[in-house]
Structure formats: C-alpha cells, structure tokens
Structure 1
C-alpha cells in the first residue's frame, strides 16, 4: 500500500546548503498539474503546498530558502529525487585518503595504484601476505604508505586498520582487484555537499578481459556487484538496499570504528544499514564507475556466489528486521498463493484481490484528482513486483525446497518452468549480454543456485531460518 504524506512545514531539514540541486528521478510521477508527487520507496503520495510547488522548476529543485530546503530534504529522504551531481561543488582530492586492503596480489595492486596516479594519499594495508616483499615493493614504487599487519584479520579489519591512520576528512576504501580513475572519486566527493551524507558508492563494472568466456560475459551483464544505471539512495526495503565495499567513499567522522571486523562477508551491508539506522544518508552514484576483475573459472565463480550467500545469517543476527529475502504486502502474498494454486478459480481470485487493493488505495488517495486511476497503476506495479519476488523465492532463495516440490508436484514444476522462462526473458532483455540466451539462462540458474546454497548453509549451520523468511508485515 502507498504511504500518504503532506509536504511543507512538518519536515525536518537536514540543512542542505543554498545552491544544492536535486532532480525528481524517473520513478517519480508528477500528477494533478504539479500538485501531487507519487513515488519513493515505499511508494507514497505527497501533496505539495504552494511554496513547495513553486520550488519545482520542471523536475528540478534548487535550494534557496527554507521551503525549498525542506522539500529537497524530503525528496532525498524518501527516494523521490536524487542530487544533480554535476551541479554540486568540486572537492579537492587531497581531502581524501585511499585505504587499500591487500593480501598478496601485487600485480593487481600495481595496476590499481597506477590508475590512481598519485592523485591522493594512499595507505596500503598488507593483511599478513604470505609473501610481503612484492606488496611492499609495489607500494614503495608508487609512493604509498605501507601498513603491515602481523596477522590476517580479513578485509574489514584491514580497512579499519587503515581508517585509524586517516587524517583527512574523507576516506576512499578500494579493493586491490579494482581499477579506479581519479575522476570517479572526484564525482563521488561532490555528494558530500549534503551534510547528512555518510557514504557514497560507484557503479561496479567488469574489467575488460583479454580472454573472455561465458562466465565473464555473464558477469559483465549481471554481476552481483553491478547495481544498475539509476542513481539511488541506499537503505533497507528500497530498490538499492546495499552497496559493495569494492569501492566506497565515506565521511571519516561518520564511520566511528568502521566495519565489524568479526565479519568476513556482509560487512559492507552491515555498515550501510548501521549508518541508515543512525539517520545518515548513503548513496549509490552510477555516474562514477570502477572496474572489477571478475572471477573467470567456474569453481571460483560459484564459490564466490556461495560465499556471498553465507553472509545472510550474520546479517540476520545484527539486522533481524531488514534481512528478509522478499518483502511483500499481505495482498501481494495472497496474490502469489492463488496463482501458485493453478486452479480454475486462481485467475478470478487474483483479479478480486487486485480489485480490493485498488479500492483500498483509491480511498486513501483522497488528495488526488483521479484516485482510482492512480490506484490501478500502483496496484499493477505492486502485482508485478510481487510476481517477480515470487520468482526469486522459487529459483534463488528457496530453491532446495523448490527442488523437492518438483519431485512430488506437477504444479510446482509448472511454476518453475514459467518462472525460469519469464525471469530469463526479462533479464536478457534488460541486460543485453554478449552471450547467447541458452548460456545466459544456464549461468543465471547457477548464479541463483550457488547464492541460495550459501544462504541455506548459513541458516542450517546457525539453526535459524531467519534469513529465509519473507516479510509479510503490513506497513502503513
């Protein structure tokens, strides 16, 4: 169900500076001649007071006074608008320090430091390499400060060791198997004109390979680290719920002690969610991109996917309200159940559920000129979202149960076939990979199977199903 709110007077300002520019994103609709905005995550209907309406020029808001400041802050907080990064002031790279955790990998480290070109101070944290000399030689050649650790503490602990030595206002965490250009860091630093921002992450693309294969081609199109081309706020229960520690730029005084050093996986997600819980903002900025060296062998690739999945239970312990594999309103869950039943009455029942939902949304959208027309649109989007999340449950998060169900139920088999075909077609059309549909479909299923296996392994080992349970709670 959408959330309804009134803009103007009741908003808490984050004191965005004068001249800060935001733009309504492509998911936000302007209706009733600019009197109402519909969008955000969760979807809300915001009625604009006259001062707020006058602050919007086209789809852009420039902060000039208290009203435009409150409106811009509200739109950022709800995910209805994004900063216009090109309009924000530049920040001197000397105000940021790069922290690079590394264990061996001197070749990759050399490539990364060459790309940075000495544009900013660099701390290389050697996380107890098996052969320290090559790492030290690379750091020395590029003028980077070396921080050797006496024991292997993992990426989170190594980043924290570097963070403790940073004296600049901003820190740039970069993994050693990444190529970053200074221009990407400059773009991300502009976002810190927002005083409420704690951290920003770039888009992570694949590094061009001399010998591409079907795995690298799939990863170039559908990497777990690539969060798409839309700028977004980052928080639980939104289109972008996390960002990877592959590359992060952060405000040092917002990080406290940094990452949870006890976590070997999922520490980036944990940090993002802790910052959001503290009331700080985190952003994803695809206008800045870095290139990651993807794994290219089947064993290493599947192992990495499963490893990502094992972070589910540690996150469930720390963030029990945010780890659900899918988040569905009750009507969306009911829609999935009746469609899965595959009975003669399934389609009429699904239409009845949708009709009741339209009526409920329409009754709440009292400030809109055509509430039921809007309600139909929102219900349609919600139904599509529920079905695609159902695909994810069948094929990714619950696939062991799905496999058992296929052995005993024709309806489960039919659902799996339909979900597989629909998911493959949608993702193939969306990502346009340099890979034929059959190998893309096979890679997609292997990706889901490996990640799901990691989630189940973490749940079984912890004897807790928390990371596997959908969230069906009603949120107003």
Structure 2
C-alpha cells in the first residue's frame, strides 16, 4: 500500500485531519490478519478473500491499531504523519478491513423525525419504544409529522406523555412521507436528524450506538440494522432474512455500486446541515432514501452502516401488500437512474467460467453431450494458475484457501447472474419461450429461467437458514423475484426508458475471489465478490 508521505519526511503544520486522528481509534474487522513474510508485508481479509501487499510502515500502523492505540499514537509508532495514516486507514475501511471508533465525544443534539398517517396503535407503540432510549434527555426531541390523518392518530400523539419532549406537526392535506420528513427536519433543533417510521420500534441503544459514527471525520450519515418485530407468519419469517431493509451483520461503508449501497429511512441518522445542503428528501413516492444517500455520497460525504444501532420493523404478513411493495421498490429504479445515470447495475463475469459454460452448452446443442463435461477444463486451469500465482508471489495463503476462494467466486458469479435473470429478464424470457413454443430455444429458455428461480431460492435457504421450510421459502423467494420483475417493467413503461434493464458486464480474467495484490486498496468498478451486482435502488 503506497503512502502519500514517506516516514521521516519534512515536517508540516498540523491539519484538522491530524487533530481528528488524535480522537479516533481504529479497529481491525473480524477475519483480518496481518502477516509479515520474507515476500513482504500483507493484510488478508477472509470474507471475501482478499489480500493486499503493504509497506512495512502500514503493517506497523495496523498492528498498533490492533493493540488499541489511537490513530495518532499508532501513526507515531509507525513513523507516519497522522493525516497520512488516517487516509490510508480510510481506504482500508472502504474495503471492510477496518473501522473507526471516536473517543471522548460529547453526544450531539438529536431530533427524531417520524411521519405518520392513520396508524394510532403503531405510533403509540413507536413512542413507547422511544421513551427508554439511552440518551441524554436535554439533547433529544421527537417530532411527529401527521400526514392529514382521518382518525385519532394525532390525538394519540398529543395525549402521549413520557420522558421525551414530543412535538406534533399536523399537515392540512396529505403530502406523502418525504414531505413529512422534510417538514419535520425544517422544524428540528438538533444537530442530527434521526429518521424512523411509525411502524418501527427503535431499540434503547439506537442513538447511543449510531451517533458516534457521525463524529468520524467526513461521515455525514449513518444507519443500523432493521430487524423484524415478530416472525409469526411465513412471510414474516421470509422477510426476517430477505427484507430489503436488512443490510447484513457486518459494518460497511455505504456508497453506490457497493455491496451496501443505501440505508433505509426507518433507521437513518443524518447531520442536519448536510441534509439541508443536499436539499432534503426528493418528492418521489419510493426510493427517496436511496436518492438521498447517493446525493450525499456524490458531494463527497461518507455514509456508514453499523448494525449495532437496531430498529425493529413490522414486516408485512399478507401476500398482496408484500408483492405490491416489492414491485413499488423495483418501479423506482427508472426514476433513480434518471437522477443518477452512472449508478447502473453491474455483474462481474469470470471469463474462464463463461468459456466453460459456453463450451458445455455448444456441445449439448450439437448433440455431442459426451463432450459437455470438458466445460470444466477452463475453470480448472484457472484454479491451478491461481494457486501457482499465489505461491510464486509469496502470498500468505494455503493452496486449499485459494482453491475454495476461486470456486466460491464461480458460485457467486452463477448466483448473481441468476438473480439478474430472475429480477429483470425472467418475464420477457418466459414470454419469448412461449412464442417459440415447443422448439428447442423455447424449452431452453424455460429451463434456464426455472433453474435460476429454483437455484437461487435453494442457495438462499441454505445460506440464510430461515425459520421456514424450503418449499415455503422457495415460493416466497420466487414470488418476490417475479414481483420485482413486474415492477421493473412497470417503471420502464411509466418513464419510457429501458435504463433499468441495462446491465454492465465487467469481465474478469480470473475469479473475483482470486486473491489480488494491490499497492493500495482503492475503489474499483468490480466488487469484492465475483459476480456481485448492485441494483440501483439497493433493493436486494
């Protein structure tokens, strides 16, 4: 990893970043190893498997951070300037290898903003959940914005009594959730705006766990995990592991075209000045959270996901509302791509896997099925070359680890390719197959779509281990994908565009899980996992 200033270089005046390094501690993420070999200094990340060769000073910096030193103290021990060390660690944080913890920071003033319409029981439960928040009461307020409810919802809010100051704003006419949030933000007094929804129950540590992220230099927004309130029905159990609000168990830097590309508004903290500078939430029906996050990132702001800050959401337990919401998420892609045309989906495709599949299919189509097994030859050659390369370059990985990573990369490519087929092209492909009738192309298309739908459902059932039988999980999974596909097509028709159907293919000469040697971690058009794809609204 190259550093921007060499140890022992000329002294310069302290900067704001030097000062920030003195109040930040950097931790290594789970699964990160620091390795010193004759072949060089290495940082290895286990999931997904990636390896970087770094300078000895960078390795010393990370070792000091691992020992609990502040960034400034670790930089001094490694012979680096604090600002230089901070930039280096920020690049590693974007790769998921490290994360920051601020020290000795006073809690900011926070305004919790909740839009609501005709949900008297839900808003009462939400306010009751906020009452035990572990946060200084003199630095906290709650603003409920009623979107012209026609029932007793505003009266419930007005009569609520608890330890937190609650202000009620009543809109004279229905304006939508985005407008409600903007109205609440305009009336807020806090330095931080904390958004949640009326059908959510924030955990007591919600703000305590998330506000420290905003003390990290450059971080303008943060969000946490969204978990289910209950898992009573089969759809709720499916949503518990497949909800688009759930972003996983690991910390992440949020940005477009990344594995975590957005945060949901039911669990979102934003610096008020940054929210106002960005213009607040856009007046769009769905996808306003994704749009805001992408605009914050476009201005250079950093957004962090920290799963500790938990909000529980009342997932849908009826099939039609569930499907309708999935379709609405998908339909928002057209508007999001109109606003952010560079954030198109992408798919990393290992060329050796493609060559092997193409050869096997060609053999089958030419009635030489006995030659189809030869399709495994290119991937096997790739695997052998990967093992040889890591040995030759002294990468500190066992051959078995390299082999597992390559195979996993191929599996990821097949999985994400199938996900794209299911969510964007399954219905058009089935329509073409019906037009082709019983001829071979039609049968092939139907078989491909069927295998993609069933294969991804089984893979997710094995991977996510839901509290649900495989048949029920697979049924929900396939309905989810097809509803999303319907929504994508509706969005295309509504906005007269084919942009949501565009897929950028990123060819890879080797598996995306192939350990790579870098002079520095940096953003790349290809993801960490082979075959990973990001959907524009992040609704995976």
Would the TM-score normalized by the shorter structure come out above 0.5?
Answer: yes
Q: Which residue in the other structure is 2:530 paired with?
A: none
1:318 has 2:344 as partner:
no
The one of 151, 161, 177 aligned to 2:199: 177
Aligned position for 2:378: 352
Aligned counterparts, 1:211-250, within 5 A: 212-250=232-270
Partner of 1:399: 426
- 2:98 counterpart (81, 85, 91): 81
Task: Tell me by how many angstroms 1:31 deviates.
Answer: 5.0
Cα displacement (A) at 1:99: 0.7
SS in 1 for 2:52: strand
SS at match of 1:99: strand
Instruction: State the distance in 2 between where 1:361 and 1:394 align.
Output: 32
In the TM superposition, 1:103-182 aligns within 5 A as: 103-117=117-131, 119=137, 120-131=140-151, 133-142=152-161, 143-182=165-204
Deviation at 1:42, TM superposition (A): 10
Structure 2 distance, partners of 1:335, 1:153, is 53
Aligned pairs for 1:420-435 (under 5 A) are: 420-435=453-468
SS of the equivalent of 1:283 reads: strand
Closer/same/farther in 2, CA of residues 207 and 235 from structure 1, 3 Å limit: same
Q: Would the aligned equivalents of 1:40 and 1:80 in 2 still touch at CA under 8 Å?
A: no
Q: CA deviation at 1:372?
A: 11
- Please give the TM-score of this superposition, normalised by the length of structure 1: 0.86
Once the two structures are overlaid, the 10-residue window that deviates more, 134-143 or 309-318, is 134-143
Q: Which has the higher contact order (CA 8 A, sep 6+)?
A: 2
Which residue pairs with 1:56 in the alignment?
62
Q: Kindly name which structure, 1 or 2, has the bigger radius of gyration based on alpha carbons.
A: 2
Task: Name the structure 1 match of 2:309.
Answer: 288
Partner of 1:193: 215
The alignment partner of 2:224 has SS state of: strand
- Residue 267 of structure 1: aligned partner: 288
Q: Do 2:192 and 2:272's aligned partners in 1 also have CA atoms closer than 8 Å?
A: yes
Cα distance in structure 1, aligned partners of 2:388 and 2:274: 42
Q: Deviations over 1:56-107 (max 9, x none)?
A: 2288374123254233222123333223x5x754653x61110111122121
Distance 1:113 1:216 in 2: 23
What's the CA shift for 1:249? 1.0
Tell me if structure 2 keeps the 8 A contact 1:333–1:472.
Answer: no
- The change in CA–CA distance for 1:185 and 1:273 in structure 2 (over 3 A counts) is same
Paired residues of 1:329 and 1:472 also in contact (CA < 8 A):
yes
In structure 2, stretches of 5+ residues that fail to align are: 7-14, 76-81, 437-441, 508-524, 527-540
Q: 2:225 aligns with which of 203, 227, 232?
A: 203
Which whole-Å CA distance do the structure 2 matches of 1:381 and 1:58 have between them? 33
Question: Could you tell me which residue of structure 2 aligns to residue 8 of structure 1?
Answer: 3
1:421-462 CA distance string (max 9 Å, x none): 432332112222221111111011111111121111101222
Aligned length: 464
Query: What TM-score does the superposition give when structure 2 sets the normalisation length?
Result: 0.76
Q: Which residue of 2 aligns with 1:23?
A: 27
Is this contact kept in 1: 2:32–2:45, CA < 8 A? yes
1:96 and 2:110 matched? yes
**3-state DSSP class of the match of 1:472?**
strand
RMSD: 3.4
Report how far residue 406 of structure 1 moved: 4.8
SS at match of 1:404: helix
Judge which range, 352-361 or 396-405, deviates more.
352-361
Contact 1:7 1:47 in 2 (8 A): no
Unaligned runs of 5+ in 1: 1-5
Q: Tell me, what secondary structure is at the counterpart of 2:504?
A: coil
User: Is the 8 Å Cα contact of residues 348 and 505 (structure 2) preserved in structure 1?
Assistant: yes
* CA deviation profile, 1:226-271 (whole Å, cap 9, x unmatched): 1121111111222211111111011112222443432111111111
Counterpart-to-counterpart distance in 2, 1:425 and 1:51: 46
1:14 to partner: Cα distance: 5.6
Q: Distance in 2 between matches of 1:332 and 1:253?
A: 49
